[in-house]
């Protein structure tokens, strides 16, 4: 195993290439039973994915990526922003542990190819301006970014590594729905001017989420065909400009917002874009396939948008690689189903990442728990079964039962069985996790029905998720920062 500081930096962040159709993928680790990182890396390589955006610096993930030649965008989680904002020493510690040591000593099995035009990025925060967060992270973003930049400068790495801040889809709006009227949220206007000034000074792009699915959900004037790049979709007109799809409409709304505060030419990276496949109406694999294919064709055409003709985003990262059953569902149950692949690395639909004509390749030699399921015992009094199912769903993933979801049409007590099985699998098929007061029954007969999959969980070598393991290491980092500050220690 490589030393933590070595593989923590690995290949930092995105290659800012000259090709307009550079396509990567987001890899999140909010899963109770994650597919082992080495298998995920093999999945990426099998599908010729050359760029990956991470949301943190998970050591297990970075170790697996070591030597893979996959270019990585490394993120700093929102939970670290307050510390990095308030302490220059904490920022220097982060830079030292994750950047300086790597550049000073190299890394076992890790190489970063430096060629002209290749730049690397640290993404400070994960959509910290999301409106639902309120002021939870907002006040700390700019200070954290500036402290990380200062730390890189002190380490003589400012020319090698750039700092960016991923912004959510709701940072910019247009009340009329017309791109020309686009502007940043009023509560963010001052912050955005500070951020854009910072990014421009350091020649960094603007990272942003574009979400046609959520736009379609929230705006009755946007049709499904318009969201899916369909040729027969009703066009939207804005003065003399014609918009044929939702992506261009959102993108130019952002361009207008940037122009209004004095940054009309800044480069844009679409840091997150996708279409979910479950947990809501119109969140299906077939619709997601249509969207992704339409998006990739549009990017490959290099036509750009009406406000930026022949100037599409410099990079685009599809969201997401795998489903994640521990993602927050505050925005909707679909949040756990953005994956191009299921949680176990099986392709949900057909397309490719623009590397030829072949379809997606599944993860190989995946290890599962035993082929057993937990279902409701129909020979018992089921009058209280619904209460037991609700309790099971409070800690496990039952989002497929949502209206419009893949399991929304199974009748009672099939939905009870689904809830029981979700809890049973999350708890590693422990016999007591299929008790439910005597209402549960373990079976070796697959109860899946039509599109409703009763899953069997992955076999993992430990019960702690990758995300939880990283939280532990982050606590160690924060404690180290605290002691450094108390002792007046500098690197």
Asked whether residue 4 carries a pLDDT value surpassing 70, the answer given is no
DSSP SS3 for 15: coil
% the chain with pLDDT above 90: 74
pLDDT for 97: 76
Asked whether residue 73 carries a pLDDT value surpassing 90, the answer given is no
Strand intervals (E) in 264-416: 268-273, 315-318, 373-376
From CA 27, how far away is CA 38, in angstroms rounded? 13
pLDDT for 11: 34
CA separation (Å) from 182 to 160, 258, 271, 305, 312? 34, 9, 19, 15, 18
pLDDT for 120: 73
Mean of the pLDDT values across residues 228-241?
96
Mean of the pLDDT values across residues 445-449?
97
DSSP SS3 for 255: helix
Asked whether residue 202 carries a pLDDT value surpassing 60, the answer given is yes
pLDDT for 98: 72
Asked whether residue 124 carries a pLDDT value surpassing 50, the answer given is yes
CA 154 to centroid of chain Cα atoms: 31
From CA 243, how far away is CA 222, in angstroms rounded? 11
From CA 390, how far away is CA 112, in angstroms rounded? 49
pLDDT for 110: 30
In terms of pTM, does the model score above 0.85?
A: yes
pLDDT for 302: 93
% the chain with pLDDT above 70: 84
Evaluated on CA atoms 352, 354, 356, 362, the torsion sign reads negative
DSSP 147-180: HHHHHHHHTT-TTTEEEE--B-GGGEE-TTS-GG
Q: Which residue has the higher pLDDT, 382 or 101?
A: 382
Which of 32-41, 62-71, 207-216, 479-488 bottoms out in mean pLDDT, i.e. has the lowest?
479-488
Which of 49-53, 120-124, 167-171, 190-194 bottoms out in mean pLDDT, i.e. has the lowest?
120-124
Furthest C-alpha separation in the chain: 71
Q: What is the mean pLDDT of the chain?
A: 87
DSSP 396-409: S--GGGSTTSTTTT
Are β-strands 373-376 and 440-443 bridged in parallel, bridged antiparallel, or unpaired?
antiparallel
pLDDT for 89: 96
Helices (H) and strands (E) in the chain, counts: 15, 14
Mean of the pLDDT values across residues 70-99?
90
Looking at the DSSP bridge assignments, the partners of residue 53 are 26, 73
Task: Identify the CA nearest to 82 among candidates 29, 132, 128.
Answer: 128
By the 8 A CB rule, do 45 and 324 touch?
Answer: no
Domains of the chain from N-terminus onward: 23-341 (3.20.20.80), 373-443 (no CATH)
| Residue tagged 């030829």 (tokens) | 356
pLDDT for 70: 85
Element holding 480 (H helix, E strand): helix 466-487
From CA 221, how far away is CA 224, in angstroms rounded? 10
Catalytic residue from among 127, 315, 335, 457: 127
pLDDT for 464: 43
Q: What is the pLDDT of residues 13-24, one digit of tens each?
A: 333 333 434 899
Task: Identify the CA nearest to 258 among candidates 247, 249, 267.
Answer: 267
Tokens of 410: 């199974």
Element holding 105 (H helix, E strand): helix 101-105
Q: Which residue has the higher pLDDT, 468 or 383?
A: 383
* Angle of CA points 288, 290, 293, to nearest 5°: 105
Mean of the pLDDT values across residues 257-274?
97
Q: What is the pLDDT of residues 134-146, one digit of tens each?
A: 999 999 999 999 9
Burial 374-402 (b: 16+ CB within 10 A, else e): bbbbeeeeeeebeebbeebbeebbbbbbb
pLDDT for 14: 34
pLDDT for 479: 54
pLDDT for 22: 84
CB neighbours of residue 304 within 10 Å: 18
127 is catalytic: yes
pLDDT winner (highest mean) among 15-24, 160-169, 436-445: 436-445
Element holding 51 (H helix, E strand): strand 51-54
pLDDT for 20: 35
Burial of 259 (0-12, 13-18, 19+ CB in 10 A): middle
Q: Given pLDDT bands bounded at 50, 70 and 90, which one contains residue 96?
A: confident
CA dihedral 271, 318, 121, 258 (to 10 degrees): -20
């Amino acid at each position: 195993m490589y030393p933590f500081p070595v593989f923590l930096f690995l290949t930092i962040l995105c290659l800012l290439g000259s090709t307009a159709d550079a396509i990567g993928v987001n890899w999140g680790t909010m899963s109770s039973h994650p597919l082992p990182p080495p298998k995920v890396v093999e999945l990426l390589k099998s599908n010729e994915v050359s760029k990956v955006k991470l949301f943190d610096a998970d050591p297990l993930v970075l170790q697996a990526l070591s030597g893979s030649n996959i270019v990585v965008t490394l993120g700093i989680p929102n939970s670290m922003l307050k510390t990095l904002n308030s302490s220059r020493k904490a920022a220097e510690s982060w830079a030292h542990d994750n950047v300086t040591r790597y550049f000073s000593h190299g890394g076992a099995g890790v190489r970063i190819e430096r060629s002209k035009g290749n730049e690397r990025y640290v993404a400070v925060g994960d959509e910290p301006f999301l409106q639902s967060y309120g002021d939870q992270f907002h006040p700390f973003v700019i200070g954290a970014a500036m402290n990380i930049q200062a730390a890189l400068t002190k380490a003589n790495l400012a020319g090698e590594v750039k700092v960016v801040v991923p912004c959510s889809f709701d940072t910019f709006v247009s009340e009329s729905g017309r791109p020309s009227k686009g502007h940043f949220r009023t509560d963010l206007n001052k912050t955005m001017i500070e951020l854009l000034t910072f990014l421009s000074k350091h020649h960094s792009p603007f990272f942003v989420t574009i979400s046609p699915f959520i736009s379609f959900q929230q705006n009755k004037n946007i049709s499904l065909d318009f969201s899916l790049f369909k040729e027969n979709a009703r066009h939207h007109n804005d003065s003399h400009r014609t918009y044929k799809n939702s992506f261009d409409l959102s993108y130019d709304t952002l361009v207008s917002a940037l122009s209004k505060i004095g940054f009309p030419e800044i480069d844009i990276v679409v840091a997150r874009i996708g279409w979910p496949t479950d947990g809501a109406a119109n969140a299906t694999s077939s619709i997601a396939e249509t969207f992704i294919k339409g998006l990739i064709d549009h990017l490959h055409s290099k036509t750009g948008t009406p406000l930026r003709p022949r100037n599409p985003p410099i990079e685009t990262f599809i969201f997401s690689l795998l489903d994640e059953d521990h993602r927050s569902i505050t925005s909707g149950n679909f949040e756990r189903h953005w994956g191009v692949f299921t949680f176990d690395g099986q392709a949900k639909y057909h397309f490719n990442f623009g590397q030829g004509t072949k379809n997606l390749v599944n993860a190989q030699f995946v290890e599962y728990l035993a082929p057993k399921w937990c279902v409701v015992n129909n020979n018992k009094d089921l009058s209280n079964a619904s209460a037991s199912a609700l309790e099971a769903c409070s800690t496990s993933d039952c989002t497929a039962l949502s209206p419009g979801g893949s399991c929304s049409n199974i009748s009672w007590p099939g939905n009870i069985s689904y809830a029981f099985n979700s809890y049973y699998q999350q708890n590693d098929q422990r016999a007591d996790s299929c008790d439910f007061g005597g209402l549960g029954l373990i079976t070796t007969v697959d109860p899946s029905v039509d599109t409703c999959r009763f899953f069997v969980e992955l076999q993992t070598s430990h019960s702690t998720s990758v995300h939880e393991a990283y939280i532990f290491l982050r606590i160690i980092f924060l404690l180290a920062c605290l002691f450094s500050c108390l002792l007046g220690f500098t690197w």
